[in-house]
Amino acid sequence: MADVLTAKGIPMTWTQLARLEKGQRSLRAVEAAALADIFNLSVDQLLGGRRARPRADLTYALRAALDAKEQARWALSSLQRTLGEAAENLADADTQGRHTEFVADLENACKALDAAGQIVASIGDTTNPAAAAVKDATIALMRQWLAEQESDQ
């Protein structure tokens, strides 16, 4: 198992693994994520799962989901702005045109982030049929972009 974790980029010796199994060492989040991936489980399932929440926790869970949605929208927007500015600056500075492909990659990443932002914005919007159409179109755009990236490699 230590070799499998190391191959996944989580350096681990058999002694460290034994200490984890005996409870003599805490499991780091990145290690838990790698183990969950190896066993095709969620981290919650790996760590013993959750008991069902009482119905009273529904309001809390909904608020947490809406907060997560807003945080994701903000993060995607921030990343899109940062990459867009980097693309503009590089395009302006690249007077000989040696980095046009890199600029194009940055611009494509901006488009993908915009599409992801639209998907996140449409989470929970069941009353607007246009939102569903935007969501489907942006998912298709993202899949196309990812396929192009994979074919370039």
Please provide the size of the chain in residues: 153
Q: At what angle do helices 58-93 and 100-121 cross, to 10 degrees?
A: 160
- pLDDT (tens, 9 = 90+) of the chain, 153 residues, equals 878 888 878 888 888 888 888 888 888 888 888 888 888 877 777 777 655 555 556 777 777 788 888 899 899 999 999 999 999 999 999 999 999 999 999 999 999 999 898 888 888 776 666 666 666 776 777 778 777 877 876
* Closest among 124, 118, 152 to 138, alpha carbons compared: 118
Cα distance between residue 76 and residue 92, in whole Å: 24
Instruction: Report the pLDDT value the prediction gives residue 49, as an integer from 0 to 100.
Output: 67
Say how many C-beta atoms besides its own lie within 10 A of residue 91's C-beta. Answer: 17
Instruction: Report the pLDDT value the prediction gives residue 131, as an integer from 0 to 100.
Output: 62
Instruction: Report the pLDDT value the prediction gives residue 50, as an integer from 0 to 100.
Output: 58
Cα distance between residue 108 and residue 114, in whole Å: 10
* Closest among 88, 79, 131, 89 to 109, alpha carbons compared: 79
Instruction: Report the pLDDT value the prediction gives residue 132, as an integer from 0 to 100.
Output: 66
By the 8 A CB rule, do 110 and 83 touch? yes
